[in-house]
């Protein structure tokens, strides 16, 4: 998805939200309450006569088989900031870069079941390889978190977030870090996992001292009209522990 079409889409959505917000902040003095649609009427009698249908419990989708090795850890790095807000979008509105959607599930190695309520702390560089706190001369305000979020998994251990593809950055005269996304994953009764997610095919991976093969995922193009965004899945398995 190019920057122009992405910007137009996001502006359109922002205007719609703003319009809704404006309508809610001030109403005419003679505005009447929204009317009720009435009681159940004939529908209520119908429901009383219908036999209840047994609902089968939902099965965890995509539960892995075979390999239940806990997800490998990785370095924390120097740019973590605690206290990011809970939100489903990592980046701020109109953040430049290639749109990216990451989804996955969190499982427990001991139970082989999805972990509901796991908390994921996620942060990354922008498309130019810069973090919001990588310049000591210009630290971010303590309540402003750019390209950072926290998420909670749903009842089936699932999570999903929207972001942009991070860029690589130099860490030495001849050393670069390949594009990656940081994770800290916590769940009661399991060991806290500090790790990173990488993307297959990046040329900087060949010289990186920290990357692990098991943390590299494939990305697929998802068409949206004449444009496309990238999408990938990252399954996480937590080891048992305190």
48-60, pLDDT tens digit by residue? 554 544 444 344 4
Residue pLDDT, tens place only, 103-137: 999 999 999 999 999 999 999 999 999 999 999 99
Antiparallel, parallel or unpaired: β 216-217 and 158-164: unpaired
**Burial (0-12, 13-18, 19+ Cβ within 10 Å), 122:** buried
Q: Report pLDDT for 64.
A: 54
Q: What is the pLDDT of residue 59?
A: 43
CATH of domain 58-238: 2.60.130.10
* Cβ atoms of 26 and 20 closer than 8 Å: no
Residue showing tokens 């529908």: 43
- Return the closest-CA partner of residue 212 out of 227, 222, 197: 197
Q: Which two tokens stand for residue 95?
A: 């953040």
pLDDT value of position 36: 64
Res. 67 pLDDT band, cuts 50 70 90: confident
pTM (predicted TM-score): 0.75
pLDDT value at position 118? 98
- pLDDT on residue 240: 96
Q: Rounded to an integer, what distance in angstroms lies between the CA atom of residue 125 and that of residue 146?
A: 9
Report strand pairing: 236-238 vs 99-108: parallel
Residue-level pLDDT at 137: 97
Report the alpha-carbon distance of residue 55 to residue 164 in Å, rounded: 39
Does 198 score more than 90 pLDDT?
Answer: yes
Domain boundaries defined on the chain: 58-238
Nearest to 153 by CA among 60, 239, 224, 70: 60
């Amino acid at each position: 998805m190019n920057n122009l079409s992405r910007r137009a889409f996001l502006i359109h959505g922002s205007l719609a939200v703003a319009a809704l917000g404006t309508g809610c902040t001030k109403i005419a003095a003679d505005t009447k309450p929204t009317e009720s649609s009435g009681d159940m009427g004939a529908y209520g009698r119908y429901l009383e006569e219908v036999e209840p249908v047994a609902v089968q419990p939902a099965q965890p989708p995509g539960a892995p088989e075979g390999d239940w090795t806990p997800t490998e850890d990785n370095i924390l790095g120097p740019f973590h900031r605690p206290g990011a807000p809970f939100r489903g979008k990592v980046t701020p509105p109109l953040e430049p870069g290639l749109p990216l959607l990451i989804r996955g599930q969190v499982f427990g190695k001991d139970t082989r079941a999805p972990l509901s309520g796991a908390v994921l702390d996620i942060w990354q560089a922008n498309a130019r390889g810069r973090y919001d706190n990588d310049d000591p001369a210009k630290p971010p305000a303590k309540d402003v978190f750019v390209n950072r979020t926290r998420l909670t998994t749903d009842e089936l251990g699932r999570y999903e977030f929207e972001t942009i593809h991070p860029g690589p950055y130099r860490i030495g005269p001849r050393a670069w870090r390949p594009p990656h996304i940081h994770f800290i994953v916590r769940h009661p009764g399991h060991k806290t996992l500090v790790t990173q997610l990488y993307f297959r095919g990046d040329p900087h991976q060949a010289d990186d001292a920290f990357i692990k093969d098991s943390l590299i995922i494939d990305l697929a193009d998802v068409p949206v009209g004449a444009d496309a965004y990238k999408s990938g899945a990252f399954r996480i398995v937590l080891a048992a522990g305190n």
